Amino acid sequence: MSVLVFAESLTGKIKKSALEALSYGYQIAQQQGTTCVALTIGNAEGADTLGQYGADKVLQVSQVAGFDSQVYANIISQVAQQVGATVVVFAHSSSGKSVAGRVAVRLGAGLVSAVTSLLAGNAVNKNVFSGKGIATYSINTRVKVVTVSANTFPPKQVRETNIPAEAANVSVPASKIRVKETSTVEGIVPLPEADLVVSAGRGMKGPENWGIVEELAATLGATTACSRPVADIHWRPHHEHVGQTGVAIKPTLYIAIGISGAIQHLAGVNQSKTIVVINKDPEAPFFKAADYGIVGDLFDVVPKLTAAIKNFKANN
């Protein structure tokens, strides 16, 4: 028996979401008294360090070029059978979500996605209806597949030493998908993985005013985001749009600046741990979903907040 964690990488690097999935897998393995096996596919720099984050064994299939859910699912299922996995863990990410359903079908396993609790026997929880409800599932199969909700199980270093990655002995099927280009924004934490997010909307009055938002984000080490109208009129890039039709996020801190808080926006951000709303309109619906609110002119409040955080960081 074992717990198998797919430790995903993007453009050659292990993702933070992979360490979160590993944190989950490690805790399940501890609970069940079994070993936790991490698997990387493709170029995954730093695979050896997965041992520090809970893997007892690290397997690697490097002879795969681009992402193809069909190829990945085939490989992961072969490894799951070889290591006798009873739980297969994925991150709830673009690749994890694309592969988990396929692996569940291949293994005849029940799947629950975006879980927010550890497995307790067959039971596991997830948030439903855009965070307005919690569902408890029963996974009724011997082998269980889960994808792990982002920013819910923080990566944890459990030992000091690396575990050298070994090549897994699998057959790699031919891919029917040709990956032409993979481009990611360099130097920032991608929104779905970000712990801290500073987001702004139409209250900014124009794209030329975003400097104060970017400065606040830089001071915090946060990722910038925006509301839908702002992305639709191209004040900000499409990939920054958070909300129901954009990216759904669960950071520990979400600061919303000049965003009224339409229900579709809230649906994508209301699972944030702490929400701060800055808006000049005291009637903005966002205040009802916030933990902390400031009614005021954002062009006045935001620079002051940046200064206060700089001051705090200098003294702590």
Partner 1 sequence: MKILVCVSQTPDTTSKIQFANGNTELDKAGIQFIMNPYDEWYALVRALELKEANAGSTVTLLHVGGAANEPTIRKGLAIGADDAIRVDAEATSSYFVAKQIAANAQGFDVIFFGKETIDYNGSEVPAMVAELLDLPFVSYGSKMTTSGNVATIERDIEGGKETVEVDFPFVLSCAKGMAEQRIPNMQGIMMSKRKPVKVVPAVAADNTASVTSYSLPAAKAGVKMISPDNVEELVKLLHNEAKVL
Of 2, 4, 7, 17, the residue at the interface with partner 1 (CB under 8 A) is 17
How distant is the alpha carbon of residue 282 from its chain centre?
32
297 binds partner 1 (CB under 8 A): yes
Of 57, 236, 241, 250, the residue at the interface with partner 1 (CB under 8 A) is 241
264 binds partner 1 (CB under 8 A): yes
Could you give the CA distance from residue 2 to residue 259 in angstroms, rounded to a whole number?
Answer: 46
Q: Which is nearer to partner 1, 46 or 101 (CB)?
A: 101
Cβ at position 71, least distance to partner 1 in Å = 9
User: Which range of residues in 41-49, 97-105, 151-159, 204-212 is near partner 1 by CB under 8 A?
Assistant: 97-105
Of 154, 164, 238, 281, the residue at the interface with partner 1 (CB under 8 A) is 238
Q: Which is nearer to partner 1, 56 or 231 (CB)?
A: 231
In the region spanning residues 103 to 162, those forming contacts with partner 1, defined by CB under 8 A, are 104-106, 108-114, 123, 126-141
DSSP H or E run through 12: none
292 binds partner 1 (CB under 8 A): yes
Degrees to nearest 5, angle at CA 168 with 165 and 169: 155
- Looking up tokens 């062009």 gives 299
Sign of the torsion formed by the C-alpha atoms of 130, 187, 230 and 301: positive
Total of residues contacting partner 1 (CB under 8 A) = 99
Q: Let me know how long the chain is.
A: 316
Could you give the CA distance from residue 157 to residue 244 in angstroms, rounded to a whole number?
Answer: 34
Q: What number of other Cβ atoms are within 10 A of residue 109's Cβ?
A: 23
193 binds partner 1 (CB under 8 A): yes
Pairing of strands 9-10, 13-14: antiparallel
